[in-house]
Structure 1
Amino acid sequence: MNLQETAQVLAKIQLGDNRQVDELTVREWHDSIGHLAVHEAIEAVRMHRRESLNYLMPAHVIANVHRVRDRIAAESRKDRQVESRRQDLELRARQRSREDVWRDMLADPHESERTKAWIREQLQ
């Protein structure tokens, strides 16, 4: 984030605890948390306010950003697992349907022997 965004994060913090924020404070915090995304830092401040009575320090923001990122990564993994399972079930359903059609074709007296031979190969 840039200095202006760091100032926004500090404004959010200042609203919560009435600390004095000046340009030097913004620069010092930017030195500590400037590598973070502003939306993550603000969410980290919210988390701290909900969960802690401690005076908010840059280390709290950094730790909470890591928690936010871990939570998002876990949700993403879970979403991918659910989607993978859904796709697997759809594929199995399509395969069963195809095999059912092939078995019906094998039982059909009007189907050519060449087609039946191909189907037998596919079913093995």
Structure 2
Amino acid sequence: MQHYSNDGHEVRDVIFNDKEVNIYNQFFGDEPTNIVPPLLCAKLWPEFTLFQEFIENEILLRETEVTQIQPLSVNEHYLAHMYIVDCKKIRQYMKYIVKLEINKNKYKCISITQTFLERI
């Protein structure tokens, strides 16, 4: 996967292969399909350099918002954009809002915004 970073924004080429989608669907007892389940996109988060700093730290996932505009298909190339939307201190916590958008031909297919808390 290629990736590009630009101060709080990173872009990667992604593809969901049919084998991983079928394994995911089997795990949840769903029928095989060529459509990528929205929550399978969670596997992308650790692949981004922007998210790497959170892997070593203990963070709490506070909120997830998923907006799917178009379904994702298996074996298709997409551009995944990760943004650090906000970072601020709230009492003894740091609050991070991180957004993942997946696009096909400059059209947004899915947007996932997650809010994390880290005790400082």
* TM-score clears 0.5: no
TM-score (norm 2): 0.26
| Greater radius of gyration (CA) | 1
Q: Which has the higher helix share?
A: 1
TM-score (norm 1): 0.25
Which protein, 1 or 2, shows the higher relative CO under an 8 Å CA cutoff with sep ≥ 6?
2
